[in-house]
Structure 1
Amino acid sequence: MATWQQFAESAPDLAAPVRARLTATKHHVLATLRKDGTPRVSGTEVDFTPEGHLHLGSMADAQKGKDLKRDPRFALHANPGDGSMDGGDAKLSGRATPLPTEGPDDAFDLDLHEVVLTTVENDQLVIRLWTPENGLREIRRK
């Protein structure tokens, strides 16, 4: 697992467009796991901290927060915008760690296991994939 900062230092050319996708719009889609192991998708917002972490918030007693406290695995799909694929399609996965909060709401630090950005370049599908173990790879498909 890696913090956002560790990912950004390891793959800055991938981190910049992924961050752009995450900051281009406010709302994204989070996938968590229910008690029975089936997936749940929820709307969510993320924030980048000055210390180089990626955080996610959840209202008190929201199901996504309960899911993450029980099973920290998540997948996050950045809002794709207007559907033009401008800037690419960004997806992240990893584990969420609860953070202490002053109020009733929940907050989580996101540790990254995988970051993917899919774009279309010259009629090719370009998939840029990063993991802490293998670094950055690129796959091109016609």
Structure 2
Amino acid sequence: MSRMSTWQEFAEQAPELAAQVRARLEAFQHHVLATLRRDGSPRVSGTEVAWRGPDLVFGSMPRSRKAVDLQRDARFALHANTGAPEDMVGGVDAKVAGRAVEVTGDEHRAWVEEVKPPSPDSHLFRLDLTEVTTTGVAEDQTHLVITRWTPTEGVRVYKRA
């Protein structure tokens, strides 16, 4: 299994990249979450994310398909909403991947009291990160700039024509 990090650990290791990705995630309310169905095929769902302490988290309706998928196989990929094409000017496309860990017990109860989700049985997942990637176009518009972070390799930048 790949090494994982909390959002805070990622932000401490790669503050500029974390700020870029957080800005993309905060620019829009809705994002696309990919999970794995029982047969291994992908499922995409809309989701909203938030920060809770050192963690990037999201909630889910009780027994939703994405929650059941993640309870069975915690692997996920989250693609930040890119918005309209003009919203990407000077911006980056952002993705995070890792394992979603369901939060239970006292921490879940505190979240329910604070956030007041539609149901007290709503799920809360902490996103442990194995990879964060941004893709953008270079200022001179001649190539893509892909920035990738992993807990083991840190930040690496790739240029692709």
- TM-score above 0.5: yes
Structure 2 residue 144 is the aligned partner of structure 1 residue 140 = no
Greater percentage in strand = 1
Task: Give the structure 1 partner of residue 127 of structure 2.
Answer: 110
TM-score by length of 2: 0.85
**More displaced, 114-123 or 82-91?**
82-91
Give SS of 1:110's match: strand
Structure 2 residue 37 is the aligned partner of structure 1 residue 44 = no
Task: Give the structure 2 partner of residue 63 of structure 1.
Answer: 65
CA distance in 1 between counterparts of 2:159 and 2:33 reads 27
Q: Which has the larger Rg?
A: 2
Deviations 1:4-56 (Å, cap 9, x if unpaired)? 0000000011000100000000000000000111100000000012x221001
Offset of residue 83 of structure 1: 2.2
Offset of residue 61 of structure 1: 1.4
Residue segments in structure 2 that go unaligned for 5+ positions in a row = 110-119
Give SS of 1:60's match: coil
| 4+ aligned runs moved over 6 Å, structure 1 | none
CA distance in 2 between counterparts of 1:81 and 1:135 reads 28
TM-score by length of 1: 0.96
Task: Give the structure 1 partner of residue 150 of structure 2.
Answer: 131
- Please, what is the CA RMSD of the aligned residues? 0.9
Length, aligned pairs only? 141
CA distance in 2 between counterparts of 1:83 and 1:5 reads 30
Residue segments in structure 1 that go unaligned for 5+ positions in a row = none
Task: Give the structure 2 partner of residue 90 of structure 1.
Answer: 94
